[in-house]
Amino acid sequence: MQFHNQILATLPRTELERLQPGLEHVQLTPRMIAYDPLTPIRHVYFVESGVISIVSIMRDRSAIETATIGCEGIIGLPVFLGVDAVPEQAFVQVVPGDAYRMSADRFTTLAPQLPALCQYLNRFAVCLFTLAAQCSGCNRVHTMEQRCARWLLMVHDRMRGDEFVLTQDFLSQMLGVRRATVSETMSFLQSAGFVSYTRGRITVVDRRGLEEAACECYGIIRSTFLRILEGRSEPNVLETMRLSEHGSSTAGDGDGDGVAERIVGAGG
């Protein structure tokens, strides 16, 4: 059996044979819940195609995405880390797909016996921390155009083609901004020739242009995933920066002009 999920595809045969009997192939339909906040996680999902978002929930029921996961990863990492419930929600984006899932109980029993799987998931946990941390800073200091371009690139990386379903309502939720702000931003990216957007479908037309429109956060996140999960080297802006001197941090000693006011749109 050929797997598109990066974890399953790279596992030694002996470990894969231990996992396979417990794997169930499932379709990932838009808005399908993988796990709810503070509710026991019943399954882990090895994503084959499509994209799953992990979102933080606010008191007013609004949500903002903190992680985007596709075929490079697993949904249900807290189970591997010994935690059965978390405050976040994980659900399928408007981009459908498929996955192999396993009951959390069975996975908890098997995982400690599979060293290659454990090594990958430990590395994946580090990548997710970088993703969440970098997105947190990005949401605070970068313009809406940069943030939107970064998000679109991350989704594009996890797709098998250049076209995917995307509504402005969904994008506004993922970025934590008003729909009007998203509409203005998408118009800018389309006018620049980076994307084509019509009737809830988006096509990445100029990938290089979209990368140039994004902030440095995309490159930092991408290079981290490639280096840690695949052992591949890709340029990272942090490599050219000197951030400490004589054992003390010099981070933050620049102009300090990255503030929320730079985000396009009132309330954005």
**CA nearest 106: which of 19, 34, 26?**
19
- 172 and 89 housed in the same domain: no
The CATH number linked to 176 is 1.10.10.10
- What is the identity of the amino acid at 71? C
- What is the 3 state secondary structure string of 194-248? CEEEECCEEEECCHHHHHHHCCHHHHHHHHHHHHHHHCCCCCCHHHHCCCEECCE
Q: Taking CA 190 as the corner, what is the angle to CA 188 and CA 195, rounded to the nearest 5 degrees? A: 130
Which of 78, 111, 136 is where one domain is finished? 136
Q: Are residues 118 and 147 in the same domain?
A: no
- Do 13 and 116 lie in one domain? The reply is yes
- Residue 135, classified by CB atoms within 10 Å of its CB into exposed (0-12), middle (13-18) or buried (19+), is buried
Q: What is the DSSP string of 120-155?
A: HHHHHHHHHHHHHHHHHHHHHHS-HHHHHHHHHHHH
Alpha carbons 76 and 65: distance in angstroms, whole number: 16
Is 54 within a domain? yes
DSSP 3-state assignment of 28?
A: strand
In a domain, 72, yes or no: yes
Is the pLDDT assigned to residue 91 strictly greater than 70? yes
Residue 108 lies in a domain: yes
Is the domain of 171 the same as that of 88?
Answer: no
Residue 138 C-alpha from the chain's centroid: 14
Residue ending a domain, among 136, 152, 178, is 136
Domain total for the chain? 2
**Residues 6 or more apart from 68 whose CB is under 8 A from it?**
51, 52, 53, 54, 93, 131, 151, 154, 155, 158
Q: Give the pLDDT confidence of 175-230 residue by residue, as tens digits.
A: 888 889 988 999 999 999 999 988 788 999 999 999 999 999 999 999 999 999 99
The domain containing residue 229 runs over which residues?
142-239
Q: Which two tokens stand for residue 149?
A: 């371009």
In a domain, 1, yes or no: no
Residue-wise pLDDT tens digits, 11-45: 999 999 999 999 999 999 999 999 999 999 999 99
75 and 110, same domain (yes or no): yes
Does residue 159 share a domain with residue 132?
Answer: no
| Report field, pTM of the whole predicted structure over 0.95 | no
Which of 82, 105, 136 terminates a domain? The answer is: 136
Q: Is 265 a domain residue? A: no
Both 96 and 194 in one domain: the answer is: no
126 and 212, same structural domain?
A: no
**Same-domain status, 167 and 68:** no
Give the model confidence (pLDDT) of 68-85 as tens digits.
999 999 999 999 999 999
Q: Indicate whether 120 and 152 sit together in one domain.
A: no
Check if the beta carbon of residue 16 is closer than 8 Å to that of residue 79: no
Q: Which of helix, strand or coil describes residue 105? A: helix
Phi-psi region of 267 (alpha: psi -120 to 50; beta: other; left: phi over 0): left
24 and 132 fall within a common domain: yes
